[in-house]
Amino acid sequence: MNMLEVRNATKTFGSLVAVNGVSLSVAAGELRAIIGPNGAGKTTFFNLITGFFPPTSGAILVEGQDITRLSAQERVKLGMARTFQITEIFPELTVHENVRIAVEVGSGFALRPWIGRDAAATVRRATEETLGLCGLESKAGRSVGELSHGDQRAAEIAMALALKPRLLLLDEPTAGMGEQETYQIAGLIRRLHKQSNYTIVLIEHDMRVVFNLADRITVLDQGALLADGTPQQISENPAVQAAYLGTAE
């Protein structure tokens, strides 16, 4: 059974068809990259998967369960976590507090006015582990709003990971990053995929990152599915070369 399956998803904004009948299957443990020019509908497609808004038509399934009508937070409970193209964090809180809140909510403590000593210790351990995984230990006590752009993006990924998701969706995690930061984030995503066996869907504009990391690539163009295949197949696909890779260089 596929971890994620999208059937014929369409989203229109007035007369604009942002996502046009796109289908997609992502196997458990797979790292799938979604590419396409600006305005192709990639972020809108993520918004449909994660329940930001409902599709105009079509269906979304996670591990065979139809989640099309579930709210965003119900989907999180089913193991879905995402980051945004424009970083969404808790700017006035410290890095540690940002991740701690994610750990607590992910542990089902969102309504708890009190947790026991053991639970609190478990939360602390999970928070520190996640910070370590994302290379943020040394910045844990700093206000996240004061960090560099790259560290803020890493903190947002840490918050998503703190939910212990089964499906991780990253929207352009290297957007606006320099060489060094891009390299670090790519390394983190590779570790998550190879060592921790996360299922990851990744929107990415940096082709080196995409062709280095992805098991399979999906290409969107003007809201429609242009191609779907292994990196090898995609790089050899003439339609993709014409529509996207050619113009991107």
Ligand X SMILES: Nc1ncnc2c1ncn2[C@@H]1O[C@H](COP(=O)(O)OP(=O)(O)O)[C@@H](O)[C@H]1O
| Chain residues in the site for other proteins (CB under 8 A) | 50, 72-73, 76-77, 81-82, 84, 88-93, 97, 100-102, 104-106, 109-115, 156, 159, 163
In contact, 37 and 89? CB cutoff 8 Å: no
CB of 42 to ligand X, least distance (A): 3
- Pick one of Mg ion, other proteins, ligand X, none as the site partner of residue 239 (Cβ within 5 to 8 A by kind): none
Closer residue to other proteins (CB): 50 or 218: 50
Q: Does position 157 bind ligand X by CB under 6 A? A: no
Q: Does residue number 36 form part of the binding site for ligand X (CB under 6 A)?
A: yes
Q: What is the closest distance, in whole angstroms, from the C-beta atom of residue 69 to other proteins in the complex?
A: 16
CA angle, residues 39, 193, 3, in degrees to nearest 5: 70
Six-digit token string for 154: 């890493």
User: What is the footprint of Mg ion within residues 61-90 (CB under 5 A)?
Assistant: 85
Q: CA-to-CA distance for 22 and 41, rounded, in angstroms?
A: 10
Site for ligand X in 38-67 (CB under 6 A): 38-44
DSSP summary character for residue 242: I
- DSSP per residue, 177-205: --HHHHHHHHHHHHHHHHTS--EEEEE--
Smallest gap from Cβ 52 to Mg ion, in A, equals: 12
Maximum Cα–Cα distance across the chain:
60
